[in-house]
């Protein structure tokens, strides 16, 4: 009867939930080396969850093993299959040295470093010139040319000559894009593209006239 009760107790112990696997502790911690990349599990068997990993060459501190001796318990509380480590288990662990490989948590997605601040755009260069397009008898055309790198508002700018009273004022709201020009025609000429007619008669002498452009803090002249 006593023998039967012992058998029943053993069966209950094996199949009851929460049973701890039989474990044979080693007398002292020993160091082994992982032979290749291996999973570290939460118990002595592949049915247990993976709790970390070890890489080939990692030094692991063994503090125990299961009854069969085919799984080794590490000082981190995780387990590794015995065939995945070297058999040089005679080395005494140095608990103050490099020691064992701890459980390696699954890395989180890397957070990209803040993007470097984009360089500030280069300041626009203002370069406006006045040139003669046509100046022959009854045909006169001047051009205000934007040779800079940005837009220039030329509304209200004035062109006048040294030998007459005419003043050609550019209408408000006129903006010159980079590389564009605005023509001022007089006499029998008409502007080609953007521009205006300043007078129906010639106002610039063909020779000996100084024509001035003023506006936007700019003052320049050219001689005919």
Domain CATH for 82: 2.30.30.40
Say what the pTM is. 0.46
| pLDDT string in tens for the chain (224-residue length) | 444 444 334 333 333 444 445 555 545 788 999 999 999 999 999 999 999 999 999 999 999 999 998 999 999 999 999 999 986 544 444 433 334 444 444 455 555 655 556 677 667 677 889 989 988 888 989 899 999 899 999 999 999 888 778 899 999 999 999 999 999 999 899 999 999 999 998 887 767 788 899 987 888 877 77
CA 170 to chain CA mean position, Å: 46
d(CA 196, CA 213): 15
Instruction: Domain of residue 37: give its range.
Output: 21-105
Cβ contact 34:58 at 8 Å: yes
* Same domain for 205 and 164: yes
**Within-domain flag for 212:** yes
Burial class (CB in 10 A: 0-12, 13-18, 19+), 12: exposed
Structure tokens at 39: 């999973």
**Within-domain flag for 119:** no
* Same domain for 99 and 143: no
d(CA 55, CA 62): 16
CA-based R_g, the chain, Å: 46
Domain CATH for 162: 2.60.40.1260
d(CA 21, CA 64): 12
């Amino acid at each position: 009867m006593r023998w039967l009760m012992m058998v029943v107790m053993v069966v209950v112990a094996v199949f009851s939930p929460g049973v701890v696997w039989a474990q044979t502790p080693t007398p002292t911690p020993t160091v082994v080396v992982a032979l290749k990349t291996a999973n570290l599990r939460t118990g002595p068997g592949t049915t247990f969850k993976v709790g970390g990993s070890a890489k080939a060459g990692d030094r692991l501190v063994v503090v125990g093993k299961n009854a069969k001796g085919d799984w080794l318990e590490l000082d981190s509380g995780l387990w590794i299959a015995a065939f995945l480590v070297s058999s040089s288990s005679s080395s005494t662990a140095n608990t103050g040295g490099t020691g064992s490989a701890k459980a390696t948590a699954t890395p989180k997605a890397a957070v990209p470093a803040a993007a470097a601040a984009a360089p500030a755009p280069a300041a626009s260069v203002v370069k406006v010139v006045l040139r003669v397009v046509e100046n022959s008898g009854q045909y006169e055309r001047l051009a205000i040319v934007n040779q800079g790198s940005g837009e220039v508002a030329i509304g209200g700018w004035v062109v006048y000559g040294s030998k007459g009273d005419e003043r050609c004022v550019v209408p408000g709201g006129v903006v010159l894009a980079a590389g564009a020009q605005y023509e001022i025609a007089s006499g029998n000429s008409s502007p080609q593209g953007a521009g205006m007619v300043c007078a129906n008669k010639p106002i610039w002498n063909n020779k000996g006239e100084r024509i001035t452009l003023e506006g936007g803090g700019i003052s320049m002249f050219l001689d005919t």
